[in-house]
């Protein structure tokens, strides 16, 4: 959202953002040892308020939400889960209501956080149009199947969904389809161009002539990294020179990843490159170094890592589940496999590496699909159109990032 906010500001709109001082949403439920400074700053022309919150759910709430959901499906378990997700912050709620008084339109994101509740309350109190960008993980029953969320979504004047799957998820819950637009996640397509793979591999310390499989993202179980690690021994039996690059921040699942990697035979363990959290300026090299990018997350509303891989000209492998088939064209710009199926994934990787000389063509197909369609220059006018129509009370269901931009170009007042 930072890219959208700063570009809206650059186009003459006054943008004010309210957030917490957390580094990740995990801090809302589990606490955090490190927080950002609370207070107000101006960055890229955007006024940003970072408010404190109550870090970590009380132990009794952890137990209550667990029993309410997994064992008894108690009444109001959706409210309990939402409270558990946080952020619990009186300052956030109060500031949102006061700031909304001088706003033309209010944007709330993402689910399942209480950010959406604070946006809803602010809009209702001040009688202002409400736009939601939920980034719904449609297969995550615990996080996104909640009646209280359906109430908020039905109250929205416009909703920005990433895919048809996300749109259909909400229309099945009695959200007016005329209020739902489809926008892919925007990219700065000029910031990343393919780097020569030999040079990129060399920069990471990988022999240029050896096949490389890349995983980039948090080391979370839901990202499918366990499935990938389960597939690699079969890949190594077929192509022993294959390298596996794992890049991304550690999570609670990282200890399991540590154990799996440590249990590998020495010759296979030596083929695993764990880079940890990486800076944005490494993305171009990182995504270019992979012959194949793999992420089998079942809980994505879009999967921006796929589009980042395509920017670097690298084909992708994703899960045949949820929204991912709306993003990847199987056999055209990547491949789809069943989530959690290590054997199918291993076969897919082996077959792909067998045609390694043809993989750049698939990567180029992916890049052609998103450039320039998903560039900020094309997507930001669609955001403006959605805000404008929300203010006017007009439908947005004809807005789709895959249509010609000239159909929607508009300008709203500051």
What is the Cα–Cα distance from 311 to 151, expressed in whole angstroms?
38
Question: How much of the chain exceeds pLDDT 90, in percent?
Answer: 79
Q: Is the pLDDT of residue 204 over 90?
A: yes
Sheet with 106-108, side-by-side order of all strands:
106-108, 130-132, 158-161, 180-182
For residue 353, the SS3 value is: helix
Structural domains in the chain, sorted by start: 2-187+375-407 (3.40.50.2000), 197-370 (3.40.50.2000)
- Condensed to tens digits (0 to 9), the pLDDT of residues 351-393 reads 999 999 999 999 999 999 999 999 999 999 999 999 999 999 9
Supply the mean pLDDT for the chain. 92
Report how far apart, in Å, the C-alpha atoms of 230 and of each of 195, 305, 355 are: 30, 21, 22
Q: Is the pLDDT of residue 66 over 70?
A: no
- Condensed to tens digits (0 to 9), the pLDDT of residues 96-125 reads 999 999 999 999 999 999 999 999 999 999
Q: Give the contacts of 153 (CB within 8 A, at least 6 positions apart).
A: 132, 134, 159, 170, 173, 175
Tokens of 13: 């709109």
Q: Which residues of 56-72 are buried (b: 16+ CB within 10 A; e: fewer)?
A: bbeeeeeebbeebbeee
pLDDT at residue number 25: 84
pTM of the model: 0.90
What mean pLDDT comes out for the span 73-84? Answer: 80
């Amino acid at each position: 959202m930072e890219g959208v906010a700063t570009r809206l500001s650059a186009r003459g709109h006054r943008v004010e953002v309210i957030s917490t001082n957390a580094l990740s949403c995990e801090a809302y439920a589990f606490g955090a040892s490190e927080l950002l400074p609370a207070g107000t700053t101006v960055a890229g022309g955007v006024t940003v308020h970072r408010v404190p919150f109550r870090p970590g759910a009380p132990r009794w709430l952890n137990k209550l939400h667990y029993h309410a959901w997994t064992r008894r499906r108690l009444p109001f378990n959706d409210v309990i889960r939402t409270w558990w997700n946080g952020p619990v912050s009186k300052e956030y709620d109060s500031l949102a209501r006061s700031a909304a008084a001088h706003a033309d339109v209010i944007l709330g994101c993402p689910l399942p956080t209480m950010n959406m509740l604070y946006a809803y309350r602010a809009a209702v109190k001040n009688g202002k149009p409400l736009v939601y960008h939920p980034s719904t993980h449609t297969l995550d029953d615990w996080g996104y199947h909640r009646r209280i969320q359906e109430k908020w979504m039905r109250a929205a004047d416009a909703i920005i969904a990433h895919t048809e799957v996300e749109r259909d998820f909400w229309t099945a819950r009695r959200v007016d389809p005329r209020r739902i637009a489809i926008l892919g996640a925007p990219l700065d397509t000029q910031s990343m161009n393919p780097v020569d793979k030999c040079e990129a591999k060399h920069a990471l310390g990988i022999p240029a002539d050896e096949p490389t499989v890349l995983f980039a993202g948090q080391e979370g179980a839901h990202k499918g990294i366990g499935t990938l690690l389960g597939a690699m021994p079969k890949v190594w039996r077929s192509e022993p020179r294959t390298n596996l690059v794992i890049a991304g921040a550690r999570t609670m699942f990282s200890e399991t990843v540590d154990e799996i990697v440590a249990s590998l035979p020495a010759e296979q363990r030596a083929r695993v490159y764990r880079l940890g959290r990486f800076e944005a300026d490494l993305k171009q090299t990182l995504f270019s170094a992979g012959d194949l990018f793999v992420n089998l997350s079942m809980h994505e509303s879009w999967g921006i890592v796929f589009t980042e891989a395509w920017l670097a000209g690298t084909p992708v492998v994703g899960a045949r589940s949820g929204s991912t088939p709306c993003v990847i064209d199987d056999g055209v710009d990547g491949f789809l496999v069943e989530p959690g199926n290590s054997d199918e994934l291993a076969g897919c990787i082996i077959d792909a590496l067998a045609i390694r000389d043809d993989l750049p063509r698939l990567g180029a197909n992916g890049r052609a699909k998103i450039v320039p369609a998903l560039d900020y220059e094309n997507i930001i006018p669609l955001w403006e159109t959605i805000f404008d129509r929300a203010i006017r009370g007009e439908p947005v269901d004809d807005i789709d990032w895959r249509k010609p931009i000239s159909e929607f170009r508009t300008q709203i007042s500051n």
